[in-house]
């Protein structure tokens, strides 16, 4: 944490052009607020005036923020990559000023675009985008522009190409948002789960996969599974990913995940001691999402749309957490020759709802009747769980479930 006596060195990686200030107000203002706009402009002015080092106490005083407010606003600028902060020790820091994105690059970033639309509304966002639309239609005209060879003789010494090759120069309109999504984990998961040739995925495709993972809150493993399902080896190189299918799958997965996160606050994972079949099943059900579980059951093959709709129904409409959904799916597949009849599943789901099922153990007890109840109580529950599961009120413990007729 910065100390009020800290020293900040101010550097820049960009050409600070005044004409880009328009984009700061039209594009960034809804995301970072007026205080964020002010602080970014204040830092750029210090840099332009060649004030490359300043005491944090003086910086806070001159910006009229209090200390905590300054730290908060600075953090917002870091989140959208307008600045970066580097620490050497408790008293020495560097602030690097980054570029303001042009409208093209701003809206090509899925995270920025999604946040912008959510802040200003679809109608206003579309109006802003249209105001920056360019007219480059040359239909019916022939390109007669001169080529480089028409006016220059390309006979320079190739050794010049290696001069200062690694020198970092100022640039504009490039940004990488700092987030918790790890591209290396994503690619390693794709390798583990498929035979996809990783270099066939373009950098642009990788960036889109990354952004959608961040935007919809999906982790690297889930995005790897979705990427595998969206990969078409017959497409041309660097266009192997069916982006439309990827987006559709991301949205379907996000619905289930969002519903699950909402419910997770009210339910904790159960732990069953021992290494019996029940404890192993419980561990399996709690270790993966329903989409991953079905892929596991069908040897890694992609899911049908009907299966995704069933998962969305159980997760979003019925609000069951993932381990309950997995237990239900597993039971249904075993009882129906590896099929998932929607009516059969809905009948079980409504039974769960009527019996107030909130945990995977609750679900297993209903699904398997006395067998599971007795086994759990006698063999694999701790004392607290034994007390809970000896209470058989309102739970049907017939030898066979009521829907198995």
> CB of 394 within 8 A of CB of 288?
no
In percent, the amount of the chain with pLDDT more than 70 equals 80
The confidence score (pLDDT) of residue 238 equals: 77
Residue 203 pLDDT class (50, 70, 90 cuts): confident
pLDDT of 11 reads 93
Provide the 10 A C-beta neighbour count for residue 347. 14
Residues 363, 324: contact at Cβ < 8 Å?
Answer: yes
21 CB-contact burial (10 Å; exposed 0-12 / middle 13-18 / buried 19+): middle
Per-residue pLDDT, averaged over 197-224, amounts to 85
Q: What is the pLDDT of residue 158?
A: 66
Q: Which of 102, 117, 146 is the last residue of a domain?
A: 102
| Residue 115 located in a structural domain | no
- Model pLDDT, residue 130: 93
Are both 95 and 31 inside the same structural domain?
A: yes
CATH of the domain at 48: 1.10.10
290 and 259 share one domain: no
Both structure tokens of 211: 């952004």
Q: Quote the pLDDT of residue 312.
A: 77
Do 249 and 332 lie in one domain? The reply is no
301 & 199 share domain:
no
Tens of pLDDT, residue by residue over 48-71, are 999 999 999 998 888 888 888 999
Q: Which of 61, 42, 68, 56 is nearest to 92 (CA)?
A: 56
Q: What is the pLDDT of residue 235?
A: 86
Residue 394: inside a domain: no
Compare 366 and 282 and report the one with higher pLDDT.
Answer: 366
C-alpha angle 181-120-98 in degrees, rounded to nearest 5:
50
Token pair of 119, please? 């802040």
Q: What is the pLDDT of residue 54?
A: 93
Q: What is the largest CA-CA distance in the chain?
A: 91
- The answer to whether residue 93 sits within a structural domain is yes
Residue that is last in its domain, among 51, 77, 102: 102
* Pair 300, 230: CB distance under 8 Å: no
Higher pLDDT, 369 or 6: 6
Residues 63 and 267: their CA atoms lie apart, in Å, by: 46
Instruction: Identify the pLDDT of residue 350.
Output: 92
- If asked whether residues 289 and 368 sit together in one domain, one would say yes
Q: Which residues contact 308 (CB under 8 A, 6 or more apart)?
A: 249, 252, 291
- Mean pLDDT is highest, among 240-249, 260-269, 291-300, for 240-249
Bridge partners, 97 (sequence order): 12, 83
Q: Is 314 in the same domain as 364?
A: yes
DSSP codes joined into one string, 257-325: HHHHHHHHTT-------SSSHHHHHHHHHTSS-HHHHHHHHTTTPPPPHHHHHHHHIIIIIS---HHHH
Same domain membership, residue 326 and residue 259: no
- Please tell me the predicted confidence (pLDDT) of residue 317: 76
Round to whole Å and give the CA distance between 327 and 318.
15
Residues 255 and 314 in one domain: no
The answer to whether the CB of 196 falls within 8 A of the CB of 164 is no
Locate 347 and state its tokens: 């009948």
Instruction: Please report which confidence band the pLDDT of residue 321 belongs to, taking 50, 70 and 90 as the band edges.
Output: confident
In a domain, 376, yes or no: yes
Query: In this model, does residue 83 exceed pLDDT 60?
Result: yes
Cross-strand partners of 86 = 94
301 occurs within a structural domain: yes
Type and span of the H or E element at 215? helix 203-216
* Judgement on whether residues 11 and 97 belong to the same structural domain of the protein: yes
Average pLDDT (306-328) is: 84
Q: Domain residues for 232?
A: 183-264
User: pLDDT tens, 115-133?
Assistant: 899 899 999 999 999 999 9
Picking from 219, 242, 264, the residue at the C-terminal end of a domain is 264
> Does some domain include residue 223?
yes
- Order of all β-strands in the sheet with 83-89: 53-55, 7-12, 92-97, 83-89
Residue 113 maps to a domain: no
Could you report the per-residue pLDDT of 382-401, keeping only the tens digit for each? 443 344 334 433 333 343 44
Same domain, 378 and 304: yes
In a domain, 139, yes or no: no
Q: What pLDDT does 171 receive?
A: 66
Q: Does 322 lie in the same domain as 228?
A: no
Same domain? For 307 and 376 the reply is yes
Say how many domains are in the chain.
3
């Amino acid at each position: 944490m910065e100390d009020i006596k800290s020293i900040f060195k101010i550097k820049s990686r960009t050409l600070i052009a005044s004409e880009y200030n328009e984009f700061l107000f039209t594009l960034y203002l809804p995301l970072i607020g007026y205080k964020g706009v002010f602080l970014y402009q204040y830092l750029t002015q210090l840099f332009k005036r060649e004030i490359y080092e300043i005491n944090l106490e003086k910086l806070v005083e001159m910006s009229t923020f209090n200390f905590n407010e300054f730290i908060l606003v600075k953090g917002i600028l870091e989140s959208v990559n307008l600045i970066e902060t580097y620490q050497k020790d408790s008293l020495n820091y560097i602030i690097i000023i980054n570029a303001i994105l042009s409208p093209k690059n701003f809206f090509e970033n899925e995270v920025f675009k999604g946040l912008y639309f959510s802040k200003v509304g679809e109608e206003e966002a579309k109006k802003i985008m249209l105001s920056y639309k360019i007219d480059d239609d040359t239909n019916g005209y022939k390109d007669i522009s001169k080529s480089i060879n028409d006016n220059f003789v390309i006979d320079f010494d190739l050794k010049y190409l290696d001069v200062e090759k690694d020198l970092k120069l100022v640039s504009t309109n490039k940004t990488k948002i700092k987030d918790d999504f790890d591209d290396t984990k994503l690619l390693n998961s794709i390798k583990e789960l498929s035979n996809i040739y990783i270099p066939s995925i373009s950098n642009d495709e990788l960036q889109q996969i990354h952004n959608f993972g961040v935007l919809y809150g999906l982790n690297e493993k889930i995005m790897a599974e979705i990427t595998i399902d969206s990969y078409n080896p017959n497409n041309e190189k660097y266009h192997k990913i069916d982006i439309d299918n990827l987006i559709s799958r991301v949205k379907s997965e996000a619905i289930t995940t969002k519903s699950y996160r909402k419910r997770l606050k009210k339910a904790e994972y159960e732990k069953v001691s021992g290494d019996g079949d029940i404890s192993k099943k419980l561990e399996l059900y709690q270790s993966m999402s329903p989409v991953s579980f079905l892929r596991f059951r069908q040897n890694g093959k992609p899911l049908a749309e009907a299966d995704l709709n069933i998962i969305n129904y159980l997760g979003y409409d019925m609000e069951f957490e993932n381990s309950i959904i997995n237990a239900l799916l597993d039971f249904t597949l075993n009882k129906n020759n590896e099929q998932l009849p929607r009516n059969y599943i809905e009948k079980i789901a409504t039974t769960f709802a009527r019996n107030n099922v909130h945990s995977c153990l609750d679900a297993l007890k209903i699904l398997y009747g006395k067998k599971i109840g007795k086994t759990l109580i006698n063999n694999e529950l701790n004392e607290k769980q034994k007390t809970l599961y000896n209470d058989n009120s309102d739970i049907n413990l017939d030898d066979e479930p009521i829907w198995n007729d």
